[in-house]
Amino acid sequence: MSMLAKMTSATPAKPKGPAGPGRRIFIHTLLIGVALVMLYPLMWMISSSLKPDQDIFTDPSLWPQNFHPQNYAKGWTGSGNSFTLYLTNSLIVTIGAVIGNVLSCSLAAYAFARFEFRGRRIWFALMLGTMMLPMQATLIPQYTLFFNLNWINTFLPLIVPKFLATDAFFIFLMVQFIRSIPRELDQAAMMDGANPGQIYLKVILPLMKPALVTTTIFTFIWTYDDFFSQLVYLSDNEKFTVPLGLTLFLDKTAGSSFGPMFAMSALALLPTLICFLVFQKRLVEGMATSGMKG
C-alpha cells in the first residue's frame, strides 16, 4: 500500500509555499535562533566568570576583553569554606544515593517483573502511586523521624532513603526493562539449579546494564542538583554541599564580587554538563521513553 501511496502522493505532498531549499533555510534560521536564546544565558554566565567585576555589566560581548581567570581562585576559597569541602560533601551524598538507588530499585524491580506473589498488582499500583506524591506531604514527619534518630546535619537523611527504594520512578523504569529480557534465560538458569538470588546476580543484573546506567546518571544529576532536601537537612557550614555553598555567595557578596560568584556557579554546573555531553543521547532518549521530572 505504502509504495502505491508514495507514488501517487508524490506530487501533491510536495510542500506548498517556498520551494524546498528556501524552506529548509528558513527552518534552520528559526531553530538556530531558538538555540541561541536557549544557550546564550549559559554562555553569558561562563564568559562573565572570566571578566573583571567592572566589565561584567558593561561588556555584554561573549568574548571577554580583559581575561580575569583569578575569579576562579578567589571564588574557590571565597565563601567561608573552600569549595573543595563542598565538592567532597556533594560527592559523598551523590555516590551514596547512586549506590542506594541502583541496589534497592533493581531488587524491587526484579521482584515486580518476574514473580507472581500475593498482592503483586496492589503493591505495584501503590508503587506507581508514590511517584505522584508531592514530597512535601511526607516532609515534616520524615524530618521529625530523622531528628529523633539524631541524623540532622549528617548525610544520612540524604542517602539512607535511597537504599529503601523511595525513588519509585527508577523501579518503574527497571521493571519495564526487565520485562524485555526473555524469560527463557531465567528458566535455563533455573534448570541448572540456580535460585532466584543467583538468577538476579548472574542473569538479570548483567543484562540490565543499560537501565542501571540510566539510573546512575539521573540519580547523580538529580541528587547533585537537589537543593531542597540539602537545605532542610544540613545546617552546619562544614556539611554544606555545592548548592548550599553557592547560596552563601548570595548572602555574602550582595553586589560586591560577581566574578567569583559566576565562576563558582559555572564550576557547579560542570559535573552536570560533563554528564550531559558524555551521555547526551542516552539522557534524551531516557527522557523520551520514560518522561518524568522537570
Partner 1 sequence: MSVTTETLHKAGEEPPAAAAPAGRERDRERERKRAARRRAGGWWPFLFLAPWFIGVFGLVIGPMLDSLYLSFTNFDLLTPAQWTGADNYTRMFTEDPNFWQSVRVTLVYVGVSVPLKLALALGVAMLLNRPLRGLGFYRAAFYLPSLLGGAVAVAIMWRQIFGEDGLFNAVLGWFGIEGQDWISSPDTSIYTLILLAVWQFGTPMVIFLAGLKQLPKDVYEAAAIDGAGPFTRFRRITLPLLTPIVFFNVILQIIGSFQTFTPAYVVSNGSGGPIGSTMLYSLYLYKKGFADFQMGYASALAWVLFLVIALFTAVNFIASRYWVHYDD
For residue 81, give the 3-state DSSP assignment.
strand
Which one of residues 134, 182, 193, 206 is an interface residue with partner 1 (CB under 8 A)? 134
Q: Does 41 bind partner 1 (CB under 8 A)?
A: yes
Q: Among residues 165, 163, 176, which one has the least CA distance to residue 208?
A: 176
Nearer to partner 1 by C-beta: 85 or 269?
269
Which H/E stretch holds residue 209?
helix 209-225
Q: Which stretch binds partner 1 (CB under 8 A): 64-72, 91-99, 174-182, 250-258?
A: 250-258
122 lies in the site for partner 1, by CB under 8 A: no
60 binds partner 1 (CB under 8 A): yes
Q: Which one of residues 19, 73, 125, 139 is an interface residue with partner 1 (CB under 8 A)?
A: 139
206 beta partners? none
Of the candidate spans 85-93, 124-132, 174-182, 208-216, the one that interacts with partner 1 by CB under 8 A turns out to be: 124-132
Chain residues 173-232 in contact with partner 1, contact rule CB under 8 A:
190, 195-197, 200, 221, 225-228, 231-232
Among 128, 151, 243, 282, binds partner 1 (CB under 8 A): 243
* Other CB atoms within 10 Å distance of the CB of residue 260: 24
Contact residue for partner 1 among 127, 158, 159, 203 (CB under 8 A)? 127
HEC letters along 22-50: HHHHHHHHHHHHHHHHHHHHHHHHHHHCC
Grid cell in block for residue 30 = 528559526
- Cα gap 92→219, rounded to integer Å: 13
Hey, which residues between 257 and 276 contact partner 1 (CB under 8 A)? 258, 261-262, 265-266, 268-269, 272, 276
| CA angle 199–201–207, rounded 5-degree value | 85
